[in-house]
Structure 1
Amino acid sequence: MTGSNPARPHDCYRCGATIEPGHVYGALDLLDADGDLRVLLCRSCAAALRDFLD
């Protein structure tokens, strides 16, 4: 669930924090009504989601 190198800055889908290249982040592949959607989460939001799912 975690990666370490987005190619460019992205915003965390949950809290809006900027994820810079080289930062650790969480990536989720979700399916919505229109098809595939990739969501990036900052490290703390990914940890919170992991804790919730456990």
Structure 2
Amino acid sequence: MKLAIRLRYESIFSVALCCQNPDALVVFGDNLAGWGKGGQAVTRDELNAFGIPLMWVPR
């Protein structure tokens, strides 16, 4: 079975990006504390957003 995967780089993250692309998985740099809504983390509460922890707490 072959999977077709398309990657796209976005320099600006927004809730609108998640809403306009409901079939996409939006991956953003997160923190282990799991809080804060600055920068890429504005997408944290969206259903198709997934945070990868890159630091302990937000700056």
TM over 0.5: no
**Larger strand share, 1 or 2:** 1
Q: Which has the larger radius of gyration?
A: 2
Greater RCO (CA < 8 Å, at least 6 residues apart) = 2
The two structures have a TM-score, normalised by structure 2, of: 0.20
